[in-house]
Structure 1
Amino acid sequence: MLERLLVLFFVVTTLAHAAPAEHVILVSIDGWAHHYFDDPKCHMPAVKALAANGVRSKRMECSFPTVTWTNHTTLVTGVHPGKHGVLANEYFDREQRKKIPLIPDPLFNKDEIVKTPTIYDAAKAAGMKTAGVIWPASRGAKTLDWTVPDVFEQELFEKYGTPELLEDARAAGIPIEKQMEWCKAGNAGKAQRDYMYTLLATHIIKKHKPNFLAIHLVSLDSFEHAHGRQVAEAYWAANDSDNRVADLVRATEEAGIRDKTAFVITTDHGFVTYTKSINANSALKKDGFVKAVLGKSLAPDSQVFAMAEGGSCFVYVLDAANRETILQQITPKLAKLEGVEGVVESKDFDSKLHHITTAQDGREPDLVLLAADGYTFTDSLADSEVIIPNDPPKGAHGHFQLDPNLYGGFVISGAGVKQGVVLDEMKNIDVTPTMAKLLGVPFPDADGRVLNEALK
């Protein structure tokens, strides 16, 4: 009798703590702004079917700056950029006096730049199987069982790709040898890249049934950069991304895990269509704060450099001894430039941007400029003009995270998720704690919250 009671207790306890989902698939559609969901010109039937059978948010607040590397890292860490450390798509090295790129993972492995645990770290620690397909800032991640990095170079793609996965891809005819060729092709290669990356992801799903898989789709962002938001080319790319989502759903059906899988379809940022670029370095050159060598490189005696980050500009004071004096001189002048909508001083980084100060992290700037709608920043040292017209219009991101155009889309559907719920608003820091809850893995240090109203 006692033995039967112990068995019953074990079964009940196990069921009480059973994870709502055995598998979570995170799909980032780069540049998928919240307004695409209700736009009648945007045809995304697979994503809308997931939303109808699940939960969506009318808008999702992204991280500042609203750029790819920063926000993809937030999506898998659940913390703000000041904590996870991927502060932008690049940063300015004060000692080397040059920009250091983080996009597309040309230099650093994940452990060198991501300072806090990720959802795939937590899943792996819980004994689960993990996968990442061109997920930004995941190069060389030791806790991804099957992965290819988000890089351009064929050598890096294969060096940091999981050997077994690459071997399987070649045997299956997945065209991984086209990686560099399609990257070099620009927009013409973006749909092919997403096709190839999705083939890799569907192979992983069907063969390995990972508990967590993250995939990054790149087409929409690229076409928005070239043409602006909510234009014919962007609608086409959104539909192409929707087809890739449909491929992933079918893969779970073929793997026999559809009813045990939760899908999270989201993004890194929205977009602004711009017609003018602001070059703060040109303005600073006029006052002698920025000096260039042959219009190409920063002169050793330059006191300031303004690094463009799309719709924001990171201003670095390089003369540390005169930092405060220089900031007092340049801040009001930069604030008055055409197209500059706001200026954020270091003392307000935490409260307004969720960043930390340069005293805490030397990669952080001393001042941040925010572009108005219709504007973006450039930082070419060769320019003499401060305001540069762009014709035809193009698209940009990197703007202030509370700009209405920069909010992202979000859909969650499947195992453990309610049906027919629409949330008014959420934050991207909420994505990881919600996925952790679905998988039943502890994730105690997130800045975000579990979207309990979306879960059964």
Structure 2
Amino acid sequence: MNTDKSKYLIVISYDAFSKDNWEMASKLPNLSKLIKNGAYSTSLKSVYPTLTYVAHTTMVTGVYPDQHGVYHNNPFQPFVTEAKQRWFWYKKDIKVPTIYDCLKKHHMKSAALLWPVTGRSVINYNLPEIRAIKKENQILKILRNGSPLYCISMEKKFGRFRKGIKQPYLDDFTTMCAVDTIIKNKPNLLLMHLIDLDDAKHQHGTDSLAVEKAIIRMDKRLGDIIQAVEKARIKEETTIFVLGDHGQINIRYKVKLNQLLKEKGLIYEENGQMKWRAYLQSTGGSAYLHVKENDSEAERMAVAVINQAISEDCFGIERLYNRTELDHYHVETAVNYMLEAKNGYCFDDDLEGPMVARIEASKGDVATHGYLPDKPNYQCNFVASGVGIKNNYQLGEMQMVDIAPTMATILGIDFYDCDGRSLTEMFQNKTHSS
């Protein structure tokens, strides 16, 4: 085998692992070992909006949301409560080829554990992130959309350690599945998505003891993965990536701007049904303004409402971005406007309750994401360690679109045309092509 290529690549997406976590995480035993024997960056810039499904789709395609089509965690579903909404669960939602499609073409094996937007994909060992809604059965839904025999086998072996989607049990389960998969199946590419840190930040804020505990648990899981690689006797042929998908920001106020559109008649009731001419779909830290096709009057009215709200300065709107500005951020082309929230504020689609609701101090801090990717301390961390990678090498600013072409380079395969570049500067020699 060519010594500067890896036969195996393990990609650990550590949801919400951002720059502000680096100081603590980088001193822990397992991550520090990878850093010492690898390349790293604390300036991995995510995509807009900084949502999990949007970022993870970019990671595996090497293109921005305006190309891959996954612009939110959820397709647009006005008036449907969040708990009942469909998500972008299925591979068919991605408009371009992925790294695992590329592996299939090269007759290489792939595995994915709770990786977003992989339902019904070509992944050989696939336990997709997918949730039952309405009256669906959770187990049947996973079996239908993942690799049935593989999913049953993982559930039989490790299901008893899981407690629904509660943490830390869910990530422990995912890690056990990953360890077993590395040892038994040796996939050329393993994609795994760990969510413990993201949950801790959402529920307890970015500076909490819960966050510190999640980071320590993560390092232990990382140690389990490293041990599995050693046990499988593939250490000399393996590269490991650890990376975040977005940061989080603490919030004090939740703002329901659709109520302003309703006041102007742009959201209304007709024959007992809710209708809309303009509607804001929140991403947490930002919101898409959807306008009915060819309704220029609704667009004018909605923009006027938003500009008025900005001038009143009590609705937590930092800025209204137009299409030209959104092109700069490679945002989904079907919308012409987006709102960005100020620090401390987030948006919500809801039409009920107070328009600006203060989050009770008694609940402690909570945090969210979805904001512009270039906010301070909001960029993500990236570590790559393994075959042919320079030791303790600091990468500069990098983009989420660079991940897929770099994965392909490491595995020694050609990737599709994409927006990103292969991070060849981190390799010990230049036989890698970019």
TM-score normalised by structure 2 residue count: 0.89
Give secondary structure in 1 for the equivalent of 2:203. Answer: helix
Counterpart of 2:164 in structure 1 is 182
Contact 2:14–2:195 (8 Å) recurs in 1: yes
Amino acid at match of 2:30: A
Matched, 1:320 2:304: no
Match of 1:329 in 2: 304
- Which structure has the larger Rg over C-alpha atoms? 1
- Distance in 2, matches of 1:195 and 1:424, equals 32
- Residues 78, 433 of structure 1: 8 Å contact kept: yes
Closer, same or farther: CA 317–161 of 1 in aligned 2, 3 Å: closer
Matched residues in 2 for 1:72 and 1:155: separation?
A: 24
Query: Structure 2 vs 1, CA of residues 288 and 388 (structure 1 numbering), >3 Å: closer, same or farther?
Result: farther
Q: Where does the alignment leave 5 or more consecutive residues of structure 2 unmatched?
A: 132-137, 429-434
Change (3 A) 1:275 1:231: same
CA contact (8 A) 1:91 1:101 kept: no
Q: Report how far residue 146 of structure 1 moved.
A: 0.5
Cα pair distance change 1:194/1:126, threshold 3 Å = same
How far apart, in 2, do the equivalents of 1:63 and 1:170 lie? 34
SS in 2 for 1:269: coil
Identity of aligned residues (%): 28
2:127 corresponds to = 148
CA distance in 2, matches of 1:104, 1:258: 42
Q: Identify the residue that residue 355 of structure 1 maps to in structure 2.
A: 331
Whether the 8 Å contact between 2:253 and 2:356 is mirrored in structure 1 is no
Q: Distance between the aligned counterparts of 1:116 and 1:103, measured in 2?
A: 28
Code of the residue aligned with 1:109 in structure 2: it is Y
> For 1:224-273, what per-residue CA distance to the aligned partner results, in whole angstroms no more than 9, with x for missing partners?
00011121101111111221111111111000001110101001101101
Pick closer, same or farther for the CA change 1:232–1:202 going to 2, 3 Å: same
In structure 1, the partner of 2:350 is: 380
Contact kept in structure 1, 2:126 and 2:151, CA below 8 Å: no
Gap change, CA 1:103 and 1:263, over 3 Å in 2:
farther
Deviation at 1:356, TM superposition (A): 3.7
The change in CA–CA distance for 1:37 and 1:280 in structure 2 (over 3 A counts) is: same
Matching of residue 304 in structure 1 with residue 288 in structure 2: no
Quick check: 1:110 aligned with 2:91? yes
Change (3 A) 1:257 1:156: same
Matches within 5 A, 1:207-226: 207-226=184-203
CA contact (8 A) 1:261 1:414 kept: yes
Q: Structure 1 residue 22: deviation in Å? A: 0.7
CA contact (8 A) 1:282 1:384 kept: no
Residue matched to 1:367:
337
Cα distance 1:454–1:282, how it changes in 2: closer, same or farther (>3 A)? same
Q: Distance in 2 between matches of 1:24 and 1:34?
A: 24
Partner of 2:207: 230
The match for 2:176 is 199
1:260 partnered with 2:237 = yes
In the alignment, the residues of structure 1 paired with residue 338 and residue 60 of structure 2 have an alpha-carbon distance, to the nearest angstrom, of: 25
For 2:83 and 2:345, locate their aligned partners in 1 and report how far apart those are by CA, in whole Å.
Answer: 24
Whether 2:253 is the aligned partner of 1:276: answer yes
Distance 1:249 1:28 in 2: 15
Q: 1:430: how far off?
A: 0.8
> Post-superposition shift, 1:331?
3.9
SS where residue 146 of structure 2 aligns? coil
Change (3 A) 1:292 1:309: farther
Q: Distance in 2 between matches of 1:395 and 1:293?
A: 36
User: After TM superposition, what 4+ stretches of structure 1 lie above 4 angstroms from structure 2?
Assistant: 97-108
